[in-house]
Structure 1
Amino acid sequence: MFFTYLRRELRRRRKAALVVASGLALGIALVIIVSSVSSGMSKAQDKVLESLYGLGTDMTVTKAAAAPGSGTQRPRFEFDAKDDDAKQSSDRVMVQGFQTLSAATIDKVGTQDGVADAVGGLSLTVLKVDGQFKRGEFKQNGTAGTGGPGGRGGSMQPQGEVRGGGASFDVNSYTVYGTDVTKQDLGPLTSSKITKGRTFKATETDAKVAVVDASYAKEKKLAVGKTVTVSGTKYKIVGVSTADSGDAAANLYIPLKQAQTLADSKNKVTTVYVKAADSQQIDHVKSAIQKNISGTTVTTSADLADTVSGSLSTASDLASSVGKWLSIAVLVAAFLVAGLLTSSAVSRRVREFGTLKALGWKSGRVTRQVVGEALVNGLMGGVLGIAVGLAGAYVVTAISPTLTAQLGGSGGGGGGGMFAGPGRQAASKSLDIALTAPVSLSIILIAVALAVAGGLIAGAFGGWRASRLRPADALRRVE
């Protein structure tokens, strides 16, 4: 009887049911689209952070660069006097961005409560100057006498000028990162994939081997098996890596000990990469490190996210603030409209419900009937809203609008204009990210829950109104 009456009433009041379902569908669809776009932006930001941090890294420990004038020396280049047109070349290896930390800091960080693993790295910049000198030619214009004292005696000296000659030099720079080859599952190199050759072996802690970034290898025509020279030392290229984000952490990767030798920084590192034992303990680990290891700056992925600007950050802010509040407002409005329409429909059915009560229907049965109708309307709205929401998310993914992520230069106290990841000038680097709108099962379940909630809220309005009807009302009300 319940379902028969329910089916008949829904068919008889199709327009009213469609209005209620459409209102709920609009709110649910907006929630799905905003949630999926927000999820896509979150993944895009994660991709940016991985390009800076490396997979599996929860935070970094660094020491801010020294202020200018506090003992920092500018690079000097010296050239030997050679024959004319002889080529000259000089390299200068410098620690990039941060002050160095003692290698003992790695062990100290690793012993902090909540730290699962810690590994050090040394970020270097190599300035390479190549060119040649050319001796000028003396052009004589004539001779002139120069007398001695009192005008007696003298000699003839050539008069002229030096023409031509000079010097032509090219200045190039590239980045080198010293990595701990015994712990390659942590740090920036983990955000790249070895596309040719191999990665380092755990036994190559002080070997003259290198992994080169694919873009740099293409630019300099480097390949597996060839050698690359860094400050007079030749390194055999054993692998070529490609960054997942398209932006490599460094041009060259070499064993940490070799990097320390090149930079004359024995037992020194610039960055300690930290993996927390539990993602819920990241803030606790950060506080512990800052408290127990003075003079260091601890930067988490959340801190790093604050330095990402550009259209990605703007769109993310809009989705998380305006978009979510708009979807909530539309959803609340849809619930209220559905409730008011259901209550209004009950008011127009006074004679019907009064007659049913006169025939023996209890108030609870009438209320359940109204709630059942509203719940079906809510489920219909949910199905329609899910369909529209999925279509909207599909359109966003199909279009894949490109957003730009500009990497900020401060990053929670880092110095030198470089943040966390080695070899990257964050202030002048931007990444283009294609936006997607993935729809997860949890979003669908939320949509179903909203549809049920909308139906129950609408049914509560109508049920409350129906429960107050009396059989005598049917005798005084004529539709």
Structure 2
Amino acid sequence: MFFTYLRRELRRRRKAALVVASGLALGIALVIVVNSVSSGMGQAQDKVLQSLYGLGTDMTVTKAADPAEEGQAQGPRFRFDAREDGSGEEQSSDRVMVQGFQTLASSTVAKVGSQDGVAHAVGGLSLQVIKVSGEFTRGQLQQGSGGTGGGRPSGPAGEGRVQGGGADFGVNSYSVFGTDVTEPALGPLTTSKITSGRTFTSSETDAKVAVADASYAKEKKLAVDDTVTIKDVTYEVIGIATPDSGEAAANLYIPLKQAQTLSDSADKVTTIYVEATDSQRIDAVKSQIQHNVSGTTVTTSADLADTVSGSLSTASDLAAGVGKWLSIVVLVAAFLVAGLLTSSAVSRRVREFGTLKALGWRSGRVTRQVVGEAVVHGLVGGALGIALGLAGAYVVTAISPTLQAELGGAGGGTTGPGGGFGGGPARQTAGRTLDVALTAPVSVTTIALAVGLAVTGGLVAGAFGGWRASRLRPADALRRVE
């Protein structure tokens, strides 16, 4: 009897049911689109952050470099011999310097790894190589008109002058990162994929091998099995690494021991990459490391996220703030409108409900009938809302608007690309911009939320109408004419 009457009433009042369902559908569709876009924003931000610190890395430990004292040299010095017969002969000199941070003792890695809540810790050494190469050209002594010969000027009217000659030198600067080859799951190389050749093996702790970044390899025309020379040491290129997104952490990667030897930094590191045992303990681990390992700066992914700005950050803030509040307001309005329309429909069915009560229907049965109709309206609205929401999310994904993520510079070696969490030796002083395509993935949780909102909307509308129907008296209802 309940379902028969329900089906008959819904068929008879199709237009009213469609109006109520449409209002709920718009609210539910907006919630789906906003949640999907917010999820896409989160994935985009995760992609940006992953390009900096790599998979598995929860935080990094560094120590800011001491400020240079007044009068102290600010850069490397290069000296070249003056050769009597060396005109036109190329000379070169290179310097390998620790970049960005003050070095930490390798024992600090073990100390950090022993902290409660730390699963793994591995050290790395960030280096900058500056190579100056070129040649001197000897000038020629030109004698004036008053000369007497023999290459010496004679008299004030003809002084001899040296013409031509000089120096032609070029500067080549690139970054090198010493990585612990025994722990391949941590470190900046985890942000790249080996697209040619191979990566390091655990036995190559002191081998003269290198992995080149794809962009650097293309620029220098390097391929697997080629060689590169760093400070007169020749390294074989065993692999080419392509970053998953953004820029690579370094131009070249070599085993940590080799990097320490090149820079005269035996048993030293600049960055310690840390993986926590539980993501929920990251903040606690950070505090513990800062307390127990004095003078260090611990940077987490949350700290790094604060440096991300640009259209990605702006759009994320809008989706999280304005978008969610707007969807809530629209949803509440849809619920209220559905409730008022249902209540209004009950007032137009006074004679019908009065007759049913006169025939023996109790108030509870009448209320259940009204609530049942409203729940069906909600479910229909939910189905329409899910369809509209999926269509909206599909449009966003199909258009795939490009957002920019601007990453602040290291500024002191605390946060930002290269200077903090990423430890990227090539990105110490300047920020950079990444282009990220926005998608709007719809999860099962979002669909479940939409179904729950549809049922809730129906119950809210049914509560309005049911309350109105329960207050009708048979005698009063029969005296009224529709």
Query: Into which bin does the TM-score normalised by the smaller protein fall?
Result: over 0.9
1:309 aligns with 2:309: yes
CA distance in structure 2 between the aligned counterparts of 1:464 and 1:413, rounded to whole angstroms: 65
Task: Check conservation: 1:59, 1:300, Cα contact below 8 A.
Answer: yes
- Tell me by how many angstroms 1:411 deviates: 7.5
CA distance in structure 2 between the aligned counterparts of 1:412 and 1:127, rounded to whole angstroms: 21
Residue identity matched to 2:232:
G
CA distance in structure 2 between the aligned counterparts of 1:241 and 1:346, rounded to whole angstroms: 70
Change (3 A) 1:122 1:73: same
Counterparts of 1:193-232 in structure 2, within 5 Å, are 193-232=193-232
- Tell me by how many angstroms 1:385 deviates: 0.7
- Tell me by how many angstroms 1:144 deviates: 6.5
Question: Aligned residue for 1:402?
Answer: 402
- Tell me by how many angstroms 1:400 deviates: 0.9
- Tell me by how many angstroms 1:160 deviates: 2.2
Change (3 A) 1:469 1:385: same
Instruction: Could you list the structure 1 runs, at least 4 aligned residues long, displaced by more than 4 angstroms after superposition.
Output: 70-73, 154-158, 410-413
Question: Aligned residue for 1:425?
Answer: 427
Task: Check conservation: 2:174, 2:426, Cα contact below 8 A.
Answer: no
- Tell me by how many angstroms 1:414 deviates: 1.4
Deviations 1:260-282 (A, max 9, x none): 11111111111111101001111
CA distance in structure 2 between the aligned counterparts of 1:401 and 1:460, rounded to whole angstroms: 43
Deviations 1:412-462 (A, max 9, x none): 961897333222426331111111111111111111111111111111111
**TM-score for the superposition, normalised by structure 1:** 0.95
CA distance in structure 1 between the aligned counterparts of 2:3 and 2:135, rounded to whole angstroms: 95
Question: Aligned residue for 1:74?
Answer: 75
Question: Aligned residue for 2:173?
Answer: 173
Counterparts of 1:254-403 in structure 2, within 5 Å, are 254-403=254-403
Where 1:142 maps in the other structure, the secondary structure is: coil
Task: Check conservation: 1:52, 1:420, Cα contact below 8 A.
Answer: yes
Task: Check conservation: 2:304, 2:415, Cα contact below 8 A.
Answer: no
Residue identity matched to 1:379:
L
Tell me how many residue pairs correspond in the alignment: 471
CA distance in structure 2 between the aligned counterparts of 1:415 and 1:287, rounded to whole angstroms: 16
| Aligned pair partner of 1:127 in 100, 106, 130 | 130
In structure 1, the gaps of 5 or more residues are 146-153
Task: Check conservation: 1:97, 1:415, Cα contact below 8 A.
Answer: no
Task: Check conservation: 2:120, 2:274, Cα contact below 8 A.
Answer: yes
CA distance in structure 2 between the aligned counterparts of 1:342 and 1:275, rounded to whole angstroms: 56
CA distance in structure 2 between the aligned counterparts of 1:72 and 1:307, rounded to whole angstroms: 31
CA distance in structure 1 between the aligned counterparts of 2:136 and 2:325, rounded to whole angstroms: 67
Counterparts of 1:83-94 in structure 2, within 5 Å, are 83-94=86-97
Counterparts of 1:39-188 in structure 2, within 5 Å, are 39-69=39-69, 73-82=74-83, 83-143=86-146, 159-188=159-188
Change (3 A) 1:302 1:411: farther
Over aligned residues, Cα RMSD in angstroms?
A: 1.9
- Tell me by how many angstroms 1:156 deviates: 6.4
Where 1:294 maps in the other structure, the secondary structure is: coil
- Tell me by how many angstroms 1:250 deviates: 0.8
Task: Check conservation: 2:50, 2:191, Cα contact below 8 A.
Answer: yes
Change (3 A) 1:72 1:23: farther
Task: Check conservation: 1:297, 1:414, Cα contact below 8 A.
Answer: yes
Task: Check conservation: 2:176, 2:253, Cα contact below 8 A.
Answer: yes
Residue identity matched to 1:414:
T
- Tell me by how many angstroms 1:52 deviates: 0.7
- Tell me by how many angstroms 1:476 deviates: 2.1
1:447 aligns with 2:468: no
CA distance in structure 1 between the aligned counterparts of 2:102 and 2:294, rounded to whole angstroms: 14
Deviations 1:353-404 (A, max 9, x none): 1111111111111111111111111111111111111111111111111111
In structure 2, the gaps of 5 or more residues are none
CA distance in structure 2 between the aligned counterparts of 1:231 and 1:333, rounded to whole angstroms: 71
Change (3 A) 1:425 1:295: same
Where 1:174 maps in the other structure, the secondary structure is: strand
Task: Check conservation: 2:197, 2:239, Cα contact below 8 A.
Answer: yes
Task: Check conservation: 1:303, 1:411, Cα contact below 8 A.
Answer: no
Where 1:367 maps in the other structure, the secondary structure is: helix
Task: Check conservation: 1:299, 1:411, Cα contact below 8 A.
Answer: no
Task: Check conservation: 1:299, 1:412, Cα contact below 8 A.
Answer: no
CA distance in structure 1 between the aligned counterparts of 2:58 and 2:439, rounded to whole angstroms: 25
**TM-score for the superposition, normalised by structure 2:** 0.94
Task: Check conservation: 1:304, 1:411, Cα contact below 8 A.
Answer: no
Deviations 1:137-181 (A, max 9, x none): 221113379xxxxxxxx9869612112222222222111110000
- Tell me by how many angstroms 1:475 deviates: 2.1
Where 1:436 maps in the other structure, the secondary structure is: coil
CA distance in structure 1 between the aligned counterparts of 2:412 and 2:145, rounded to whole angstroms: 69
Deviations 1:320-372 (A, max 9, x none): 11111111111111111111111111111111111111111111111111111
Change (3 A) 1:346 1:411: farther
- Tell me by how many angstroms 1:69 deviates: 2.3
CA distance in structure 2 between the aligned counterparts of 1:443 and 1:413, rounded to whole angstroms: 40
Deviations 1:284-311 (A, max 9, x none): 1111111111111111101101101111
- Tell me by how many angstroms 1:226 deviates: 0.8
Question: Aligned residue for 2:468?
Answer: 465
Task: Check conservation: 1:123, 1:423, Cα contact below 8 A.
Answer: yes
Where 2:129 maps in the other structure, the secondary structure is: strand
Change (3 A) 1:415 1:100: farther
